[in-house]
């Protein structure tokens, strides 16, 4: 009996051990399976999150040199009473302070007598593009604090404001001192060596010509900033480019800075259905000191026509810096004459298009070879071109007759195209975020594409310096034939 009980007990113990082992094995498998499933689930969510980030910002990350010494930007704003708000250093233009409010947009226009919309219109100084752009860049959705991730590096140097302190100085050392200090600082940063500055860009509210003094003669205009070796490796974005391929143009700031997408649509609809009693208009002043200027001829033709409206800027009682004065005329006109002024381009061209007025250009450098990221390549879709190198080219041209010869169908198509372009030509309020791409968005896109093309050249084993900062002597060439 004792042996029987012992055998039975041994079998039960063995059976229990086997059952326990099986249970433990099953629990272990279940635990591993659950852990693996949970881990995979976490990884899938994580991968989806990372994938989403890569899709939205890959190739679009921008690093800002926020450590740039304040003397190159913020100190200039603090010294705004010494900055020129115009194209000279006369006593009536010195003091930029009134225009710095509202993140550089200027004072809000409270009453426009029905000419402008009720909101989002400001008295904006065009020289403050660099401030407006910087404030927009601070809200850019793909900023990074890691330079190695950046596709482009933004240098928030207020080049135009800095230059305005010394552009009229006869001492070239003083005129160029800030620019030399800037390139010394920037080229000493570790980010510089990644592409030796070819992924760096700056923005200015002045024309590129203001930074391209070619000779060390104190009677020559401008600073020599863009001819410094380090500066040549950077891309400059300005309201007017130059002959050099590392300068690009983006629109002058207008006075409209929408805070909502609906404000753009409402303005477009309003411009589409306005009555326009004048066939053409010219808002500006003559240039008697410029022998080849065509402005005198244009003014004479406008005054001789009953269908043209001329506003003489600078004459007694007329203030063309008042957006209401200018926009009222442009809104009342079918075509707006846009001859060169002190340089090839004019802010007026963008004011006129904002008003739905078809621009009439006389030099390819006024728009067609400039704003490549913002205006259609086929200029006949939105503008009229009358080639005029100087006044002699206009003697046989009767502008009124030429414009009357354009069919109503063609005229309507051009106006609709101009109105469709409006969102691309305005800078949204930096305090807002639009779904619509504005002038800032298109500028950033163009800059990123420019730098990516340089990277492509490097990947192909070629020298990225070739063509990067070369002169394009054909940029302002008149076409042999008109379309």
pLDDT tens for 355-376 read 999 999 999 999 999 999 999 9
Rounded distance, CA 46 to CA 43, Å?
5
Residue 20: band (very low, low, confident or very high) from pLDDT cuts 50, 70, 90: low
pTM for this entry: 0.87
Q: Is residue 188, in this structure, part of any structural domain at all? A: yes
Q: Is residue 431, in this structure, part of any structural domain at all? A: no
- DSSP calls for 209-263: GGG---S--TTS-S-SGGGSHHHHTSEEEESS--SBTTEEE-PPP-SB--SSHHH
Rounded distance, CA 77 to CA 95, Å?
11
In this prediction, residue 475 carries a pLDDT of 86
Please give the C-alpha separations between residue 465 and each of 19, 101, 199, 297, 455, in angstroms, as whole numbers: 77, 40, 12, 44, 11
pLDDT digits (tens, 9 = 90+) for 201-239: 999 999 999 999 999 998 899 999 999 999 999 999 999
pLDDT digits (tens, 9 = 90+) for 395-437: 889 999 999 999 999 999 999 999 999 999 999 999 998 999 9
Same domain for 85 and 190, yes or no, is yes
In this prediction, residue 32 carries a pLDDT of 45
- The rounded Cα 427 to chain-centroid distance in angstroms is 8
Mean pLDDT along residues 120-138: 97
Same domain for 281 and 225, yes or no, is no
Q: Is residue 246, in this structure, part of any structural domain at all? A: yes
Structural domain including 323 reads 273-423
Rounded distance, CA 301 to CA 63, Å?
51
Q: Is residue 79, in this structure, part of any structural domain at all? A: yes
Same domain for 327 and 451, yes or no, is no
User: 284: alpha, beta or left, given left = phi > 0 and alpha = psi -120 to 50?
Assistant: left
Q: Is residue 226, in this structure, part of any structural domain at all? A: yes
In this prediction, residue 1 carries a pLDDT of 40
Token code pair at residue 432? 């807002």
pLDDT digits (tens, 9 = 90+) for 146-196: 999 999 999 999 999 999 999 889 999 999 999 999 999 999 999 999 999
Residue 133 pLDDT > 90, yes or no?
yes
pLDDT digits (tens, 9 = 90+) for 248-258: 999 999 999 99
Residue 421 burial (CB count, 10 A) = 21
Q: Is residue 46, in this structure, part of any structural domain at all? A: no
CATH number at residue 378: 3.40.50.2000
Residue 25 pLDDT > 70, yes or no?
no
In this prediction, residue 341 carries a pLDDT of 84
Same domain for 282 and 343, yes or no, is yes
User: 430: alpha, beta or left, given left = phi > 0 and alpha = psi -120 to 50?
Assistant: alpha
Mean pLDDT along residues 46-64: 70
Rounded distance, CA 213 to CA 179, Å?
13
Domain count, the chain: 2
Same domain for 99 and 215, yes or no, is yes
Same domain for 228 and 286, yes or no, is no
Residue 458 burial (CB count, 10 A) = 12
In this prediction, residue 156 carries a pLDDT of 98
In this prediction, residue 218 carries a pLDDT of 87
Q: Which of 109, 191, 187 is nearest to 149 (CA)?
A: 191
């Amino acid at each position: 009996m004792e042996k029987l009980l012992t055998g039975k007990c041994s079998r039960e113990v063995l059976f229990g051990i086997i059952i326990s082992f099986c249970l433990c094995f099953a629990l272990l498998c279940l635990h591993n399976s659950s852990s693996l499933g949970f881990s995979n689930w976490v990884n899938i969510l994580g991968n989806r999150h990372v994938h989403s980030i890569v899709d939205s910002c890959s190739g679009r990350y921008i690093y800002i040199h926020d450590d740039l010494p304040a003397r190159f930007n913020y100190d200039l704003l603090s010294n705004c009473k010494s900055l020129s708000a115009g194209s000279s250093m006369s006593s009536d233009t010195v003091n930029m302070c009134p225009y710095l409010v509202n993140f550089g947009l200027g004072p809000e226009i409270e009453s426009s007598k029905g000419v402008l919309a009720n909101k989002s219109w400001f008295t904006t100084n065009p020289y403050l593009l660099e401030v407006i752009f910087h404030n927009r860049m601070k809200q850019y959705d793909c900023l990074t604090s890691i330079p190695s991730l950046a596709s482009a590096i933004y240098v928030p140097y207020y080049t135009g404001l800095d230059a305005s302190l010394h552009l009229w100085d006869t001492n070239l050392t003083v005129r160029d001192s800030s620019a030399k200090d800037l390139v010394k600082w920037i080229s000493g940063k570790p980010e510089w060596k990644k592409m030796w500055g070819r992924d760096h860009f700056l923005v200015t509210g002045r024309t590129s010509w203001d930074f391209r003094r070619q000779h060390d003669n104190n009677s020559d205009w401008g600073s020599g900033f863009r001819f410094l070796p380090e500066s040549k490796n950077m891309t400059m974005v300005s309201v007017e480019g130059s002959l050099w391929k590392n300068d690009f143009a983006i629109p002058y700031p207008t006075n409209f800075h929408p805070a909502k997408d609906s404000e753009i649509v409402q303005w477009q609809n309003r411009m589409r259905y306005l009555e326009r009693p004048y066939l053409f208009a010219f808002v500006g002043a003559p240039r008697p000191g410029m022998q080849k200027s065509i402005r005198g001829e244009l003014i004479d033709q406008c005054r001789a026509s009953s269908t043209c409206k001329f506003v003489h800027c600078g004459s007694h009682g007329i203030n063309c810096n008042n957006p209401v004065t200018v926009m009222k005329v442009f809104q009342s006109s079918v075509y707006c004459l846009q001859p060169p002024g002190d340089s090839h381009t004019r802010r007026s061209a963008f004011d006129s298009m904002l008003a739905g007025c078809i621009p009439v250009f006389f030099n390819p450098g006024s728009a067609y070879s400039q704003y490549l990221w913002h205006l259609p390549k086929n200029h006949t879709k939105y503008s009229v071109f009358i080639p005029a190198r100087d006044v002699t080219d206009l003697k046989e041209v009767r502008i009124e007759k030429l414009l009357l010869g354009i069919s109503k169908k063609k005229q309507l198509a051009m106006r609709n195209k101009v109105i469709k372009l409006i969102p691309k030509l305005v800078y949204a309020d930096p305090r807002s975020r639009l779904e619509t791409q504005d002038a800032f968005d298109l500028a950033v896109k163009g800059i990123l594409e420019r730098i990516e093309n340089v990277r492509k050249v490097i990947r192909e084993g070629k020298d990225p310096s070739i063509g990067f900062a070369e002169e394009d002597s054909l940029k302002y060439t008149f076409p042999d034939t008109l379309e």
